[in-house]
Structure 1
């Protein structure tokens, strides 16, 4: 009997996560550096890394949220849609929609594909469901970004 993949009842399945090998080391270093300042967030990032399928940057699907790719998502509780771009902490600028990977929403979105939904806990401890609607890779022609 294979007991490696068990999902606690009532929590639902977590969506698949895919990350590029070129970012793996940086994500691990950021998580380890954040352990003292924000252990819960660091643990979440390490958990996502641990369950992720790691692929070469060239094989990262265009519809997967990654550093530098614009993502539009919907908060299923409020119906509000928002577009953000996950970036490394030093490039974050909330006024321009550039969110750090070291934020709860950054950790929640990274590696998800279009149409994936996930449970997300806000900073206020409120549980929400987010759905990834669209991902645009800056290096892909607009017509190919959704393929």
Structure 2
């Protein structure tokens, strides 16, 4: 089971359309990817939901380009957060239906999240920069 460690869960914000679509995605994926779907559903449930027209500078939204740091290794990655059909790891397009994608959604620049992967590994990620989707 993927778990966000409660004492490390920063507040997150999602646009209304993303919250609705991500909630539906989590439901559909529950049988095939139960741990990640459950984690994603929990993140959607705890998010502050903003109107679709609200500017969310510095917040990781769907189709945002972002740079994050894996706090265990210190390595930085530049990626675009996408829905599963658009995912292409080699092109830096990571799915929101992965443990890392689900952890990053809704975070703001400077925020960190610690979570446990399905294999029991503890990971911590910090968002360094975000470009709003076009």
TM-score of the pair, normalised by structure 1:
0.82
Q: Which fold has the larger relative contact order, with Cα–Cα distance below 8 Å and residues 6 or more apart in sequence?
A: 2
- Of residues 27, 31, 35 in structure 2, which corresponds to 1:36? 31
Runs of 4 or more consecutive aligned structure 1 residues displaced over 6 Å after TM superposition: none
Q: Which has the larger radius of gyration?
A: 1
2:109 corresponding residue in structure 1: 114
8 Å contact kept, 1:19–1:60: no
Structure 1 unaligned residues grouped into runs of 5+: 1-9, 140-147
CA RMSD of aligned residues (A): 1.5
Separation of aligned partners in 2, 1:65 and 1:126: 23
Give CA deviations for 1:51-95 in whole Å, capped at 9, x if unaligned.
000001221411000111111011111110011111011111111
1:145 corresponding residue in structure 2: none
1:126 corresponding residue in structure 2: 121
Alignment size in residue pairs? 130
Structure 2 unaligned residues grouped into runs of 5+: none
